[in-house]
Amino acid sequence: MNPNAGFEAMLFDCDGVLVDSEVITNRVLCTMLNEAGWVLSSEDCLQLFIGKMVRSQKDLIEANTGKPLTDAWMEEFYARRNVALEQDVKAIEGAVEAIQALHAQFKGQIACASGADRKKIVMQLRIAGLLPYFEGRIFSGHEMPRTKPFPDVYLAAAAALRADPQRCLVIEDSVTGTQAGVAAGATVWAYHPPAHAVCSQADLAAAGASEFFEHMADLPQRVARASAVAA
């Protein structure tokens, strides 16, 4: 029996799925937006920007700060964000063990497909001890014609793995990312930890997530069960 009869490959988002980075990045972004004149809470900032490329929200930022979103501002954001991540980012609990198991189970047919810039993705995976499992199979929305919620980054990852997108399992935690996975034709499961979920289960379901799980450590067994049923 093929242990992966249900799926040919697994495609993972990065922030909030593999690494616990959302709050760190949001803290820097919220601080800088307040400094620029847009007074908003960290909670509102997270809801507005979760799963989205900051530069893609240019019109929203300029409307609320009354200032142009310049390359210099973005470079400062990236620099301050990277310092904070270097200091504080860590793997999602259970992610390292789960990825080790799934990398073996899928014979290396796993990839990281994130809306973030490549430098951030690689840095975070390195710090979290996950880079060896994804090296050579990292895809950035910044390098695609369109980023999430469009499917480009997931389609690129599937193509590189020579996998049918409809037989790929995507792991996401945001509405934007879930929409991207569904648009690619993949099955999307949502990582939804009750203590610090960034999106409601109802919103993720409306975006197309077909299953939910609360602990990353449970993922290999859940995938194995789903594959056994499909076989």
Predicted confidence (pLDDT) per residue in 101-153, tens digit: 999 999 999 999 999 999 999 999 999 999 999 999 999 999 999 999 999 99
Closest CA to 11 of 179, 146, 138, 201: 138
Q: At residue 2, does pLDDT exceed 50?
A: no
For residues 141 and 152, the answer to whether their CB atoms sit within 8 Å is yes
**Which residues, in sequence order, are CB contacts of 224 under 8 Å at separation 6+?**
3, 105
Give how far Cα 78 sits from Cα of 29, 119, 174, 185, 227, Å: 9, 10, 21, 32, 40
**pLDDT given for residue 231 in this prediction:** 56
Q: Given pLDDT bands bounded at 50, 70 and 90, which one contains residue 52?
A: confident
User: How do residues 168-194 score in pLDDT, each as one tens digit?
Assistant: 999 999 999 999 999 999 999 999 998
Beta-carbon contacts of residue 135 (< 8 Å; ≥ 6 apart): none
Over residues 152-170, mean pLDDT: 98
Look over the chain and give the mean of its residue pLDDT values, rounded to a whole number.
94
Strands (E), the chain: 9-12, 110-114, 138-140, 168-172, 187-191, 211-213
pTM, 2 dp: 0.88
pLDDT of 194 reads: 85
Please state, for a pLDDT cut of 90, what percent of the chain lies above it.
Answer: 88
Helix 118-128 with 71-88: angle, nearest 10 deg: 10
